[in-house]
A and B are shown apart, each in its own frame.
Chain A
């Protein structure tokens, strides 16, 4: 790999971009599942569960993703767990995204007006039924725009996986730049590629936000 930028370099970058998308999806699915559990724990009827999940969120939100990646990739092998870059990056992002989505979704659940809970209680629905049939469907509408907005953060944060040697878009750019030494050109391409991934998500988030301003999510006076 030397000389000037050619099709092979671009192909390598495209492959990196695909891994960025893949890693983002892993983070979204893993972090989404974890975040959903966290959100439910945060509004649990059990104090201990609320406290434990709250502590988790505080801890993760107070820790840089970079450090979480170091901990999983470099910290675990001496303890006898060897971790591939993909596993380390995927697990770190899941841990990190879970805390943030959990908090976004907790807020959405709690912003469903209190009288909706009471109406459901008055109809003798069990706690699980109230959650599943009354509260969560309304919370999903409230949570969708900020969730899509947060996906932009996820996509950009996958670039940190480069520090554990995972070859995604940013790392692919570094590798090519090491060969060609054309930093401005190559990082400009990388920036445009990230923008191309994030911009549609931002627009989607904005559209959803506008749409949720009216229609059935309109909430009753309390």
Chain B
């Protein structure tokens, strides 16, 4: 593994000049930012601005054309990267929950800890109970995903990621499929996680939430980081693009 020191000494995630095209379409055009340990970064921007792609690159769901991505000491841009080791350190939650429909919530959660980390079944079940309690679903161990509401499914999906004890959590528009009421219950879980010191990167459309929870906001526009700063910048944008986006987004 190549080792060049990260820009910020305590950065858990570092993107440096990341380029990515889908065919002729340039999606990421030199994206750089870093996420210090224990902080929350919100990536915002219009549809098609490249924000979801940037997030997916962090967990190598997309391979990049050029640039450098380092996550918890893994060189994600390196084709020889051990994907399974990277993904033991990174938890990802998707817009469409993606719980496994043929397994109970408990089985959804214990699957990876037993199969990947070799946890004993009893230990994995104890951990499942613990993470489910954390997201307020302590009584849903034996339920199947279809028996839960969308908000409950998303919270269970968060619990499933937490059971792997990741060092950083990625959230890809996790409330976009939910109505406002259910959105609230998911956001409260994420807030509690932030308060517990979890390092998080989230792509979100919830501007109010981003302002309340994010230590740093990354505004993406046309595949670039157009503006970047503390959440307070949402109240006082310095570029017309962000001003327009925030104006229309609220």
Contacts and interface: CB of A to CB of B under 8 A. Distances in A.
Interface of A: 115-116, 118-126, 129, 133-134, 137-138, 141, 215-222
A144 B231 CA distance: 52
B123 to A, nearest CB: 17
B86 to A, nearest CB: 8
Nearest to B147: A216
Interface in B22-66: 59, 61
B98 interface: yes
Contact of A133 (B85, B98, B115): B115
B94 A123 contact: no
A221 B59 CA distance: 22
Contacts of A222: 96
Given A217-B101, A218-B101, A124 B87 contact: yes
A127 to B, nearest CB: 10
Contacts of A126: 84, 116
Contact of A123 (B85, B102, B116): B116
Contact of B146 (A115, A119, A216): A216
A217 B146 CA distance: 9
Nearest to B170: A122
5 contacts: A122-B59, A124-B84, A124-B164, A125-B111, A218-B101
B115 A125 contact: yes
Chain B contact residues (Cβ within 8 angstroms of A): what range? 20 to 34
B221 interface: no
A221 B83 CA distance: 26
A153 B128 CA distance: 46
Given A123-B164, A137-B102, A138-B101, A221 B94 contact: no
Q: Is the interface of A mostly helix, strand, loop or mixed?
A: helix
B209 interface: no
A125 B101 contact: no
Interface in B157-181: 157, 160-161, 164, 177
A111 to B, nearest CB: 13
A121 to B, nearest CB: 7
B245 interface: no
B96 A115 contact: yes
A122 B59 CA distance: 8
Interface in B196-216: none
